[in-house]
Amino acid sequence: MSDSTKDGDGTRAVRAGLPEPVKNEPTLPGPVFAAHFHLPGEVAGPYSYGRDDNPTWTLLERAIGELEAPGRDGVETLVFASGMAAISAVLFSQLRAGDTVVLPSDGYQVLPMVRAQLEAYGIEVRTAPTGGDAQLDVLDGAKLLWIESPSNPGLDVCDIRRLVEAAHARGALVAVDNTLATPLGQRPLELGADFSVASGTKQLTGHGDVLLGYVTGRDAEVMAAVRRWRKIVGAISGPMEAWLAHRSIATLQLRVDRQCATALVLAEALRARPEVSGLRYPGLPDDPSHKIASQQMRRYGSVVSFTLPTRARAERFLESLRLVEDATSFGGVRSTAERRRRWGGDAVPEGFIRFSVGAEDAEDLVADVLRALDESAQ
């Protein structure tokens, strides 16, 4: 039999999670809509009740597992209703009152709310920035280290392997938020992490029409607790969303390669503009994150961030764009951008723009951005 671990990312993506072919059956079976399954007599077999498991999830979980940890045995993936459901499942299933957790201080803007909830349950929360591996300094005594690399929206990168080694030496588990990178950009389990956790709402599904999250983990006992949490809280994905996600994964490599290539072209064009400051893209050779990113990432993501001189200038820029929607989220095939300070959460300047590069032609997108920069100057 041929060895599928040698397959390229495109080959793996189009085949990920497909069942063995069955004559007269579809390649990817459709969504299974079921609250309950036939269950005469004793409880046996995988499918009994729709909050516990569903065949459409099983195939999607297999697909994500094949991308996050190709060829690795014993790895398990669980899908959730959203990225936050997946993040909460790891944190709240693993931590108890009296434990300590280390979070990034510059991570996704809902993390401060998570922090407050953890503290309300008697869990000590320490934070440090992603850049400079600063989380190393606050690891002593921690039960769990939460990494977000690249961070959203600042696009800082930390040395995951180094942090994992330090955390494991102290007996702490390590989870990496892999949302921005996608499993084609980075494989946290190969870098030693215990969990790769992500919002599949972003580039994994890539069309801005599905909310989804997942946890991939290496340890059966630890993952059993995450699964138990899913059952208790019930933050499950609908079968239709799970199926749409699986269908979308077939084009993941096409989308990611295209979007990453255009993101680099856009970043280079922005670098030449005098009104742009604080430009960040881990794929730019002179970006502060590039050295570590190039060691642990295989693709650098579709998000570029930069700052325009004022809030008004940033708003005029966003209004002038023709091909880019002013919307939150990122990773979709249609470019989006937003002035991140409008939410109030992130510690970024008023004119800070998080720009998510879509699958438009690079020349069209760059021309639109440069025109909008010119128009917004007036």
Ligand X SMILES: Cc1ncc(COP(=O)(O)O)c(C=O)c1O
What is the contact surface with ligand X in residues (CB under 6 A)?
Answer: 82-84, 87, 108, 148, 152, 177, 179-180, 199, 201, 211, 213
Strand partners, 76: 217
Nearer to ligand X, 89 or 366 (CB): 89
Q: How far is the CB of 371 from ligand X (least distance, A)?
A: 28
The minimum distance between CB 367 and ligand X, in angstroms, equals: 28
Nearer to ligand X, 100 or 152 (CB): 152
Q: Tell me how far, at minimum, the Cβ of 60 lies from ligand X, in Å.
A: 15
Is the CB of 108 or the CB of 229 nearer to ligand X? Answer: 108
Closest CB 108 distance from ligand X, rounded Å: 4
Which residue is at the shortest CB distance from ligand X?
83
CA distance 79 to 77: 7
* Cα–Cα nearest to 15, from 1, 5, 30: 5
Return phi, psi of residue 226, to 5°. -70, -40
- Measured CA to CA, the distance from residue 166 to residue 188 in angstroms comes to 15
Contact in structure between 192 and 161 (CB atoms under 8 Å): yes
DSSP string, 295-359: HH-SS--SEEEEE-SSHHHHHHHHHH-SSSEE-S----SS-EEEEGGGGS-S---TTEEEEE--S
- Nearest residue (CB) to ligand X, 139 versus 245: 245
Q: Which is nearer to ligand X, 151 or 376 (CB)?
A: 151
Closest alpha carbon to 98 in 117, 127, 114, 119: 119
d(C-alpha 126, C-alpha 357), whole Å: 33
Question: Which secondary structure element, helix H or strand E, spans residue 195, and what is its range?
Answer: strand 195-199
Residue 143 Cβ, how far from ligand X at the closest point, in Å? 21
CB of 1 to ligand X, least distance (A): 37
Instruction: Kindly tell me which of 153 and 269 has the beta carbon lying closer to ligand X.
Output: 153
* CB neighbourhood size of 72 (10 A): 15
Q: Least CB distance from residue 86 to ligand X, whole Å?
A: 8
Q: How far is the CB of 136 from ligand X (least distance, A)?
A: 21
Residue 87 or 279 having the CB closest to ligand X: 87
- Which residue, 214 or 362, has its beta carbon nearer to ligand X? 214
20 DSSP 8-state letter: P
Q: Which residues of 73-95 are buried (b: 16+ CB within 10 A; e: fewer)?
A: eebbbbbbbbbbbbbbbbbbbbb
Non-local (6+) Cβ contacts of 365 within 8 A are 262, 266, 323, 324, 335, 357, 358
Question: Which string of b and e fits 210-235 if b means at least 16 CB within 10 Å?
Answer: bbbbbbbbbeeebbeebbebbeebeb
Complex with ligand X: residue 56 or 201, whichever CB lies closer = 201
Smallest gap from residue 200 Cβ to ligand X (A): 7
- Measure the N-to-C terminal CA separation of the chain; round to a whole number of Å: 64
Phi (first) and psi of residue 198, to 5 degrees: -155, 155
